[in-house]
Amino acid sequence: MPADPYQLVLVGALGVALIVVPGLLHRMLEAAKPALFAIASERMPRLVARETLTVLASAVVVGGLLLVWGGLVPDYLEAAGKIAVVSWARSALAEGSGRQPGIVVLLALTAVLAILAQYVLFRAFGRRRRRMLADRIGLTTGRAERFVHATSAILAGGIGEEFIFRAVLPAAVYAFTGSLTVAILAPWLLFALAHIDQRWTGITNAALIGLACTVVYLATERLEFAIAVHVVANILAVLVAPEVFLALRRRTVRRALRSGAPAHREG
């Protein structure tokens, strides 16, 4: 269908909002007086309130997008099937093709490599930078707080973001522009930039995870598989990684105590 300038402006404005609004919301809630939300000043109640609002906002956005543009998704998936590599993957996954195990392994490997890449990037930092980043993602919080973060990351991130950036938004962009290239690349870039508050490492990680989820979704035509990849990545980043880094730090301290030497100061 031909592009409608007003609808294109709407899509662009929505993309900017998806990048800017979540970060602004978090900063406002962090800086707001506790009395504004009628909750105590303790860290956990504020955290629960913030993440609850994040999940609710994600649900509203997803619901609205599905209501307005959800019907465009089948046309987008059908058009994407004309891409050579996507067509090959779908035919390989078809029953009776005899190539299902191979393509499943290939898709799983793509997802695993994208997830593991965040730890490769993490190790690229100097020791002081790694320590600062590790503290920021959870070493200075308790397990209960990390569980709250993980719940929000699964619901608003793993599920909500996949509906927005992998299904509905690409379908809307394709319907309004008629370009598969724009429909695939624009939401992918928006998804990466939506993590700009995590600086270049967060943007790079999001770009890799987004690319893997896009490949899995277009190849299988099943959004739940892309959601699974995203959820696993978020759980590893929010719950597992902090525990691993904390265990490594404790091991360093124990070794220093056994040797009678002061613990090595990073930096």
Q: Of 248, 252, 29, whose CA–CA distance to 139 is shortest?
A: 248
Q: Cα–Cα distance between 12 and 225 in angstroms, integer?
A: 27
First to last CA, the chain: 57
Q: Of 180, 203, 200, whose CA–CA distance to 190 is shortest?
A: 203
Per-residue pLDDT tens digits of the chain, which is 267 residues long: 444 555 556 666 666 666 566 656 655 655 554 444 444 445 667 777 777 887 888 888 888 888 888 888 999 999 998 888 888 888 888 877 777 788 888 888 888 888 777 666 665 555 555 555 555 555 455 667 777 878 888 888 889 899 989 999 899 889 888 889 999 999 999 898 888 777 777 788 889 899 999 999 999 999 999 999 999 888 887 777 777 777 777 777 777 777 765 555 544
Residue-level pLDDT at 41: 44
Residue-level pLDDT at 185: 92
Residue-level pLDDT at 266: 47
Residue 209 phi, psi dihedral angles, 5° rounding: -65, -40
Residue-level pLDDT at 150: 80
Q: Of 211, 234, 215, whose CA–CA distance to 225 is shortest?
A: 215
CB atoms within 10 A of CB 150: 23
Both structure tokens of 20: 């800017």
Average pLDDT, the chain: 76
DSSP line for the chain: -PPPHHHHHHHHHHHHHHHHHHHHHHHHHHHS-GGGGT--SSHHHHHHHHHHHHHHHHHHHHHHHHHHHGGGHHHHHHHHTTSHHHHHHHHHHSTTSS-HHHHHHHHHHHHHHHHHHHHHHHHTS-HHHHHHHHIIIIITS-HHHHHHHHHHIIIIIIIIIHIIIIIIHHHHHHHHH--HHHHHHHHHHHHHHTTGGGHHHHHHHHHHHHHHHHHHHHHH--HHHHHHHHHHHHHIIIIIHHHHHHHHHHHHHHHHHHHTSPPPPP-
Residue-level pLDDT at 17: 63
Residue-level pLDDT at 23: 59
